[in-house]
């Protein structure tokens, strides 16, 4: 448990180290915000054999960490400061520190790199675009037109009425969106870590920051855009996209070209959780990048 200082007092966040490698230490930033590091349990199949040291980490307000009931804590700036405090507590530095974030974790990783790239040896942005607006445009222009329009209208009504906690909303999303763009396998085959993480999400963080809709960004993160700042993040950076993702893989390819030391990895069979539905591309490409560091 790592102590964290916040404007609202002292709290603790949960971390767990796996492996030992003095040269490569990967800190994992989970999605959400308000989800859990259980989404990374598939890394246990691949990373130990590759000799990579990595750290599970539940962000403040998530599952195994302290869960304060203070809405003022749920800001991007405070989460960036939290990551920096965790880095210091774990003794990570530019000689070994690789930050890997997926989805919201990828957003947080980019934001951290804007402010603290001097501490990074490498950066991995997985399944996250560099602009909330462009993410919303992709959802509106590409994903939604492919959906059953009657189902989409029903989902939109739940969102407009503020009743996204209705079980029917989740049921429709699972059948018409999640199994196509979040984890491409029949729901009855979804991995246990994914189901556990979904069951442990903290809506008190997720809804104000991400927004109630699963088809775009509408919370406090809606104005976020770092597309113009990628050129200034001059550390080796891997951007991972997937062909069936909720995020535009072509935009993520473009992102990799903006980073001065960027590389792109496409998972052709994968979606948002490509570490589960396309591990045969996700992990060899990721491990190759880490080994080159």
Residue 66 lies in domain: 2-134+220-292
Whether cis (ω within 30° of 0) applies to the bond prior to 33 is yes
Which pLDDT tens digit goes with each residue over 129-168? 999 999 999 999 999 999 999 999 999 999 989 898 899 9
User: Within a domain: residue 145?
Assistant: no
Give which of 261, 225, 264, 269 is closest to 245, Cα–Cα: 269
Which pLDDT tens digit goes with each residue over 98-117? 999 999 999 999 999 999 99
- With a cut of 90, say whether residue 201 has pLDDT above it: yes
The C-alpha atoms of residue 112 and residue 128 are separated, in whole angstroms, by: 14
User: Within a domain: residue 242?
Assistant: yes
User: Within a domain: residue 183?
Assistant: no
Give the confidence band of 251 by pLDDT, cuts at 50, 70, 90. very high
Would you state the pLDDT for residue 213? Answer: 86
Q: Considering the entire predicted model, what is its pTM?
A: 0.97
Catalytic residues: 103, 245, 272
Average pLDDT of span 229-237? 98
User: Within a domain: residue 247?
Assistant: yes
Average pLDDT of span 199-226? 95
User: Within a domain: residue 193?
Assistant: no
* Domain CATH number, residue 73: 3.40.50.1820
The C-alpha atoms of residue 204 and residue 143 are separated, in whole angstroms, by: 27
Would you state the pLDDT for residue 214? Answer: 85
Average pLDDT of span 186-194? 95
């Amino acid at each position: 448990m790592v102590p964290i200082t916040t404007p609202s007092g002292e709290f603790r966040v949960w971390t767990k180290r796996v492996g030992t490698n003095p040269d490569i230490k990967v800190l994992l930033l989970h999605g959400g915000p308000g989800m859990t590091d259980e989404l990374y349990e598939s890394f246990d199949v691949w990373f130990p054999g590759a000799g990579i040291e990595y750290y599970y980490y539940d962000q403040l307000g998530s599952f195994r960490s302290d869960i304060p009931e203070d809405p003022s804590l749920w800001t991007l700036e405070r989460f960036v400061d939290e990551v920096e405090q965790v880095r210091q507590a774990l003794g990570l530095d530019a000689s070994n520190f690789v930050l890997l974030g997926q989805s919201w974790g990828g957003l947080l990783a980019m934001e951290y790199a804007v402010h603290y790239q001097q501490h990074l040896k490498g950066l991995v942005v997985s399944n996250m675009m560099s602009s909330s607006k462009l993410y919303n445009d992709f959802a509106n222009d590409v994903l939604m037109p492919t959906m059953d329009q009657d189902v989409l209208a029903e989902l939109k009504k739940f969102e407009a009425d503020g009743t996204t906690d209705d079980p029917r909303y989740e049921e429709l999303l699972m059948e018409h969106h999640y199994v196509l763009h979040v984890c491409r396998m029949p729901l009855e085959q979804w991995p246990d870590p994914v189901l556990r993480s979904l069951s442990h999400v903290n809506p008190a963080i997720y809804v104000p920051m991400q927004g109630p809709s699963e088809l775009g960004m509408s919370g406090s993160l809606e104005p976020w855009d770092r597309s113009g700042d990628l050129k200034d993040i001059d550390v080796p950076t891997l951007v991972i996209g997937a062909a069936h993702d909720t995020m535009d893989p072509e935009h993520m390819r473009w992102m990799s070209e903006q980073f001065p030391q960027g590389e792109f990895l496409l998972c052709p069979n994968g979606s948002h959780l490509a570490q589960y539905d396309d591990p045969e591309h996700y992990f060899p490409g990721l491990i190759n990048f880490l080994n080159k560091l």
